[in-house]
Structures are given as C-alpha cells and as structure tokens.
Amino acid sequence: MTIAPIAAIILAAGKGTRMKSSRHKVLHPVGGRPMVEHVMATLDTLNPARRVVVVGSERDQVEAQIGDRATFVVQEPQHGTGHAVQQAAPALADFAGDAAVLYGDVPLITADTLRRMIDARTHADLVVLGFRAADPAAYGRLKLSADGGLEAIVEFKDASPEERRINLCNSGIMVLSAKLLFDLLAHVKNDNAKGEYYLTDIVGLARARGLKAAVVETDESEVIGVNSRAELAQAEAIFQARARAAAMADGATLIAPETVYFSFDTKLGRDVVVEPNVVFGPGVSVGDNVVIHAFCHLEGASIAEGASVGPFARLRPGAELRKKAKVGNFVEVKKAVLEEGAKVNHLTYIGDARVGAGANVGAGTITCNYDGFFKYKTDIGAGAFIGSNTALVAPVTIGEGAIVGAGSTITKDVEADALVVTRSEQREIKDWAAKFRARSKAKKDGKK
Ligand code: UD1
Ligand code: MG
C-alpha cells in the first residue's frame, strides 16, 4: 500500500473566550506542554510533508510558539470551521497528497488513531474520526448509511429530535485528498442555524457526488476539546491517567498512581519506585532502580541508576544525581552534580555546585551561591565530609577528603584531607548556670 504524503491543517483561530485568559487557548499546557505542541508532537511520528496552522485571534502568540515549524494562514473574521480550513487552500494549492484536519485545542489525539484513519483512506474518499459520547450534548452527529458508511454529519443545532438521539459524534478530525477538500469547501454554504460555513457539510457534498465516506471510531477521551478551564482540567486528568498507565506498563511501581503527576517528557527506568504524592515537572529522567520517596517535586533533573530521592525533596533544573547518590528530606538541589554515592540527607540547599563521589554533606548545610547580583560555584571534592550547619560561601572549593567542622562558615578554599573549623573555641565555666539560677530566683522572689 502506498500512502499519500500528508499535509496537516491545524485550526487555532478561535478566541477561546471561555478560558478567560490573556494566553491563547492552544498555548495552555497539558502535562507541562502547550496543547498545540501535543498535536505537533503527534504529527512528528507521521512525518507530514506540510503543516499549516490557521490563526486568527492573538495570532502572534501562536506564531511565536510554533515559529518556522509551520506555515501560518489567517482567518479573520471567523465564519466557521469550513471557512477556517478554506484559508489553507492557497498554501496547499500545489499539494498533491492528503489533508488531515486537526485542532489546536484537541491535544490528546494519538498517532495510532491518525494512522488508522490514513489506513481507512484505502477504501474511502473521506475519513472522519467519530466517537460514542456518554453525553452527546451539542456535538455534530454522524449519520450512517445502511452499509455502515458515513452518509452525513448533522450539526446539533440543525438536527431533528431523531438525529439528536444518535450517540455517534463528530470529533471534527478528518482525512481526505487535499484537492477534494478544497473543491468541496468551495461549495459549502452558510444557510444553517449558526450562519457559518460548516466543514462537516463536505460529507453530504461528497456523498452527492457518489464518493465514499467512512468513520473511524475512537475513545471519547482522545478527542476531548478544551474550551474552558474545567475542560483543561479534564484533559489534564486524561493525560495523567495515560502517563501513569504507561509508566507502570514500562516497569515502574507507582504505589498510589492517582497521586503522581507526570510531564509530557518524563522518563522512568525499570524497577523505579515512585511513592505517593510526587510531581514530575518537565525535563526529568530517572534511571533504573531509583526510589522517589513520598512528596517530592522534581523538574529539569536527571537521576541515575540506584539513586534515592526524598521524602520531601525538591530537585530543580540542572540537578544531576549520579549512580547511588542520595538526596534526603527537606533538601533542595539546583544546577548541581552529585557524583556517584554522594549523600545529602537532611535540610540542605545545594545550588551551583559539584559534590564529589562519596562525599557526605551534613544536615543544614547551605551553599551560599548568590550575592544578590551574581551566582558562584561551590566545589566539594570526593570523599569530603561537610559537618552539619555549614555555610559554604561561594566561590569556594573543599578539597578531596577534607573535613569541615560543624557550624563553620567557609569563605576560603580548603586543601585536600585538611580539617577546617571556623567556629570560636568552646569555653566552659564551672557552676555558672547554677549560680545564675539562684541569683535570678532570689531577685524574682524579692519582688513579690
Ligand atoms: C465542531 C463540529 C462538530 C463537532 C465538534 C467537535 C463543525 C461545523 N462542527 O463544532 O460537528 O462535533 O466541533 O468538537 O465543524 N475554529 C476556527 N475558526 C472558525 C470556527 C472554529 O478556527 O471560524 C476552530 C475553533 O478554534 C476550534 C474548532 O475550530 O478549535 C472547532 O470549532 P467550534 O466552534 O468549537 O466548533 P463546534 O461548534 O464545537
Ligand atoms: Mg467546540
């Protein structure tokens, strides 16, 4: 079977008024990535020859996001989905393959489903993606003919009571020859309940020409459209459910999957254990046999095999934990490498730093990396031991195997294998406390 080259047409002209946002609707993130980028990423796997994005309201925002990865055409004003797709005609005038109509606010469509639609094109001139809606509400209804083919799409507002009882609904996603698409669109009229040019009318027009239309069905969760914050949250929930299922299918244990939040690019190795209430922001990769204890927030971090994180740890962008490194509770790590087996177990901030292999950083250690203007680096050598409650005032280097006494403020480099302490020497005054108490008590009693 030879597959025609594909031109993707992504509609993103709608205002998204119901989002009540100054951000364009298709730029709101799901799983940490703008919705329209989900569509772009799904398209990557199909390797389309062209991508045309139909923009209108706030077009500069969409154009800035996508840049030179697509051709932009403007729909202004907006007279319906058919009118929107028609704007792509000049950009695709020389295009001989199939057009796939997609939507910037329908982010969860999968490549598998699009492939099924492309396959269905071998026996139909026009393929529409449909779904069985739990509540068909205002969706367009797909009317099938006796042979199971698609006869027409009827918009809710134009549908008869009988047609409204159909629960097979139109997702809006279609695949057909680009030439046929624009030819049919030229004949679409706006004499309907909304006074708009409906893309959906091309099905009836194609059937009138004796062409064949087919429906590919998919699950409703895949074609949810986002028009409001509530629908955005629904799309997020569907994304998270998929990500959790995929993580477990790939060999990670999630003790309470519904409490773990993933990003679009989270990577987990095998035999990773993720305890409850963990949030993966964008850019996290986790090697095999890592344990992420409860209540951690990770973003832009890479964690190598056998490492352990948390509970209650925060890994910020640039945190790199090498093999068997350990980050414990109430520890924040930013732009820092913890080399193999390094341990930072309690109540510590490590930023702009290297912690050498096997080094041990005691409780309450702070790398003082910022002077209010610039950031500076702390370098801790392999096998060094940093006593509790140490302030490391960067830039500063602690040599390999050096020991820093607890409670020190280190402002100068420390040689390998040295002991450094900066606190004042301990003094002890015999019986001072007992005398102080006796004196004070007498004073207080005398006043009564
Ligand atoms: C459309 C379909 C309907 C389907 C539903 C699925 C038509 C006529 N109807 O209805 O059958 O069940 O989607 O959600 O196609 N857009 C533009 N320019 C326009 C109008 C819309 O770019 O002039 C974009 C919107 O931004 C949105 C998409 O097209 O991304 C769908 O538009 P919308 O107005 O939501 O269509 P529906 O009436 O919901
Ligand atoms: Mg809609």
Report the nearest atom of ligand 1 relative to the CA of 225: 14
Which residues belong to the active site?
346
- CB contact at 8 A, 102 and 109: yes
pLDDT of res. 448: 61
Mean pLDDT of 297-320: 98
Mean pLDDT of 142-147: 94
Report the nearest atom of ligand 1 relative to the CA of 171: 6
Phi, psi (deg, nearest 5) at residue 64: -65, -35
The number of beta carbons lying within 10 Å of the beta carbon of residue 446 is 7
pLDDT at 1 over 80: no
- CB contact at 8 A, 369 and 394: yes
CA of 368 to the centre of ligand 2 (A): 52
pLDDT of res. 118: 97
Report the nearest atom of ligand 1 relative to the CA of 54: 22
CA of 304 to the centre of ligand 2 (A): 44
Task: Give the pLDDT confidence of 368-407 residue by residue, as tens digits.
Answer: 999 999 999 999 999 999 999 999 999 999 999 999 999 9
Q: Which of 15, 81, 191 has the most ligand 1 atoms within 8 A of CB, as the residue to mutate?
A: 81
pLDDT of res. 3: 75
6-223: CATH topology is Spore Coat Polysaccharide Biosynthesis Protein SpsA; Chain A (3.90.550)
Residue for token digits 């005032």? 393
Ligand 1 pocket residues where CB is under 6 Å: 11, 13-14, 54, 75, 78-81, 83-84, 103, 105, 139-140, 153, 155, 169-172, 198-200, 225
CA of 188 to the centre of ligand 1 (A): 15
Confidence tier at 15 by pLDDT (50, 70, 90): confident
Task: Give the pLDDT confidence of 330-375 residue by residue, as tens digits.
Answer: 999 999 999 999 999 999 999 999 999 999 999 999 999 999 999 9
pLDDT at 447 over 90: no
Domain boundaries for CATH 3.90.550.10 within the chain? 6-223
Domain boundaries for CATH 2.160.10.10 within the chain? 229-420
Give CATH superfamily name and number for 229-420: Hexapeptide repeat proteins (2.160.10.10)
pTM, to two decimals? 0.94
pLDDT at 32 over 80: yes
